[in-house]
Structure formats: structure tokens, C-alpha cells
Amino acid sequence: MSEKSIGRRSLLGGGLSLAATGALAAACSSTTATNSSGGGPLAGKKVIFVVHEKNSFFSPVQKGFEAFGQAMGWNTQFMGPAAFDQSAVVNMMQNAVNAKPDGLILTRIDETSYDGVIKAALAAKIPVILSNVASEGYAKLGVGFVGQKFVPAGVTAGEQILKYIGKHGGRKDGAIIIGKIQAGNSALEQRGAGIRKAVEDHNKANGTSFTTEDLIVGTDEAGAVSKINDRYSRDPASIAGWAGTAFECQFVSTWAKSKNLVGRFANGGFDMTVPVLNGIKDGSVDFTIGQNPYAQGWVAAALLAQQIHPGYPSFTYDTGAEVVDAANVAAVADREAKFA
């Protein structure tokens, strides 16, 4: 066999393989682009939404974004790394800028790392709006934000957990475990700060002596349940309640049900994922605080739309802190099921 034939065959084989995978990529692209059903000056616009980590929370955010995009006739693209990594997120955002979209929606989960890419987008005349988490100092970039005010929402969560500790035996002391699915996320840190503030205020006002401690559990259920069990095993009597900063309460629910410990302490947190709402229905979760993730997609896209045309500047939109408990969970679950 000659050298020439090796090169030719190899290149041919490689070319065919790449053509096949390219076709796969093209197919993926065409199936995810939103159908252009809308009309007017915004029809056919390409808008990209990049989040810091694709997890179940972002499912309704994506639905809201795509629903608005469909109404406008946009080509939408929603993406994020499977696991958070600072430089991977920045690279993905930079690639989104390089795609020259008509608008970008981003999450900014710390105060400096994403500013370079946001400024690059703005310099390229690409309108940007932040969603879900903006971090301190976002206003100086001249971009809007759609999301929750995290410290006040944390205070609401803290007040709720104290209320339910009262219902589960009326303890006056004990540890409130502040669960986190992720370290290094400013939104979760701010909610945690809000929970701690509520507990401190409660102690001062009522003469109680509750303490708080952080527990990073991750997003993998098996790992999270193990960490929760380990903390419980260390000192079972010390725990008065579990207050998550995201959807950690669903892991506490799984663990408590497996150990027949439901009702022994208060359990609540944030977000309206299906397991969290099911936990409220079966009594293993006391409450959750919603932040209207659908609006974080839909309203963010709407603000971006009016920024693209006719050109109104975006602004900050608080998606609130909706308390969901046994009293309203059925209605909320029906509503959220529409995004499943």
C-alpha cells in the first residue's frame, strides 16, 4: 500500500465520519431552534441563553425563554455546562458572543469573572440581560436583571423554618442546617445570609438560642443523602431544622423517609422542582420558596425584546419569594406541571 493511498483512505474515512457527526450536529441545531411563528421586526432574531450550570431548576426557565421566543419567532438556544466550572462557563459565554446573536441572556454568579465577556458582548452591540443571579455590581455594567432579591428571600425562608420548628415540637434551641447544593454561588450565599439574619433576629426577639451551620451537599442525590445522614449521625439531638438555599430539602425528604424521621424536625428551602412539591404533598417537606423561574426565562426574554426593538433600556425585575406549603401546594403543582 502506498503512502498516498493511506492518506486518501484515512482522510476519506475521517471525512465521512465527520460528515455524519456534522449532520448529527446540524440535526440537533434544527430541532432546537424555535419555530418562527411570530412576525414583525423581531422575527427570526437569534437569542442565546447561557446559564452557569444546567440542572433541573433551569427547566422552567428554559421553557419560559423558549415560549417567549416562539411567540416572537426567534431562534433560541439554551445552554450551560453539566457541572459548574468558572472558566468553562466563561468560554461558553464567549462562544455565544462569537456566534453574533441578536441578544444574550446570562447568569452572573460572581462579581468579576463574567464582566469581560459581558463587556465584549456590549462592545459588539449585542444587548445583554442577566437572569436568575446577577451578583453585586451588575448595575455598573448597564444591564438589567430578572430574578429574586436573595437576602430578603433568605429572611423569608428563615422565618418559615422557625415557624415550622415551632410546629414540630416547639424547640427553643438547636442547630438549623443551612444546606447548599453548590459552593461559590453568590445567590445561595446571600440566601444563607438571609436565613442567618432571620435566626439572629428571632433569637433576640424571643430569647431562643438557635444556631446555624452550613452543609454543602452537592446536586447528586446519593451523595447528598450520605452527607445529610453523616451530619445527623454526628449529633442527632442537635438538629432542629434543615433550611436549604436551593432544592436541598428534596434530599432531606428522601433521607428522612428512608430513616422514618419525617416530622422530627422542620425541613424547607427553595425552588419548585417536582420532588420538592411532592415532598410538601406527602408532608416530608414543610415549605419551599419559589422565585418564579418561568419569569426568569419569559420576562428576561421580554425585556430583551423591547431592548432590541424599539430600544427601551432594560431594568431590574424582582421575581419575588412565593411561599409554597401544604395550603397551596396543589394549585402550585398544577401550575408547575405545565412546564414539565
User: Which residues of this chain interact with other proteins, rule CB under 8 A?
Assistant: 1, 3, 6-7, 9-11, 13-15, 17-19, 21-22, 24-26, 28-29, 31-33, 46, 48, 54, 75, 77-80, 82-88, 90-92, 94-96, 98-100, 109-113, 115-116, 180, 182-184, 186, 189, 214, 216
Q: Backbone phi, then psi, for 243, in 5-degree steps?
A: -120, 105
Q: Which residue has the cell 436565613?
A: 195
Minimum CB separation of residue 130 from other proteins in Å reads: 16
Name which of 94 and 306 has its Cβ closer to other proteins.
94
Q: 112: helix, coil or strand?
A: coil
Minimum CB separation of residue 59 from other proteins in Å reads: 11
Minimum CB separation of residue 302 from other proteins in Å reads: 21
Minimum CB separation of residue 159 from other proteins in Å reads: 24
Buried b (16+ CB within 10 A) or exposed e, 79-90: ebeeebeeeebb
Q: Which residue has the cell 442537635?
A: 238
Minimum CB separation of residue 245 from other proteins in Å reads: 11
Count CA within 13 A, CB hemisphere, residue 6.
3
Name which of 89 and 162 has its Cβ closer to other proteins.
89
Name which of 108 and 202 has its Cβ closer to other proteins.
108
- C-alpha–C-alpha distance, residues 147 and 87, integer Å: 23
Name which of 183 and 330 has its Cβ closer to other proteins.
183
Strands 103-106 and 287-290: unpaired
Name which of 81 and 166 has its Cβ closer to other proteins.
81
Name which of 22 and 313 has its Cβ closer to other proteins.
22
Minimum CB separation of residue 31 from other proteins in Å reads: 7
Minimum CB separation of residue 144 from other proteins in Å reads: 22
Chain-centre distance for alpha carbon 289: 13
Minimum CB separation of residue 33 from other proteins in Å reads: 6
- C-alpha–C-alpha distance, residues 265 and 57, integer Å: 25
**Bond preceding residue 81 cis, omega within 30 of 0:** no
Tell me how many degrees the CA angle 221-223-225 measures, rounded to the nearest 5. 65
Name which of 214 and 318 has its Cβ closer to other proteins.
214
Cell representation of residue 51: 446559564
Asked whether the beta carbons of 229 and 239 are under 8 A apart, the reply is no
Name which of 31 and 260 has its Cβ closer to other proteins.
31
- C-alpha–C-alpha distance, residues 263 and 270, integer Å: 19
Asked whether the beta carbons of 239 and 252 are under 8 A apart, the reply is no
